Amino acid sequence: MHLKILQAGEEVLRGKARELSSAEILAEETQRLIEHMKNTMREAPGVGLAAPQVGLPVQLAVIEDREEYHQKMTQAQMTERQRQPVPFHVVINPRIHWSEETTAEFFEGCLSIAGYAAMVPRSTAVTVEFLNERADPVKVEARGWYARILQHEIDHLAGVLYIDRMHSRTLTTVENMERFWKGLKSPEVRARLG
């Protein structure tokens, strides 16, 4: 089953999601939701999907950055973004800690703002503590693109969209990003757009 991904303007995308108890996490209903969210994320395709994006105000997100998503990128782009495959996993009731003050700006999109992208500054390293789909505690130290994905999905659980953090002059359609900006480094984009 594939779920409908809500678009910006839906009230649930702007609210703070509630935590799930261990019993709720282990419930059959939540386990089915996780499977449906995984299928929906893959079909979109995307690298993350938070429960508010499918209409549920709970602190649950699924993440996966598949190697096949990297095929259109050059090795230089992969290195600049510190991007590598991330296996599928579930993030529930996350607590994020910024590991360093260094930030990086890259174009970022969102399944709930379909067809658009903008440059968003994000911390280059974070530590996240959360529960997995078995209600087991997990601690992840993430760098580069994986850190960006975690920040983006955790923002969703607080009612924050990337458009709240973006450099507004960089907002573009995904089509125009591919045509005009994809091959440039972030400082070059910022210099041209001011």
- State the catalytic residues: 153
**Angle at CA of residue 173, ends 170 and 175, nearest 5°:** 125
Q: b/e per residue, 18-56, with b = 16+ CB within 10 A?
A: eebeeeebeeeebeebbebbbebbeeeebbbbbbbbbeb
Q: How far apart are CA 19 and CA 179, in angstroms?
A: 41
Report yes or no: 33 and 24 within 8 Å, Cβ to Cβ.
no
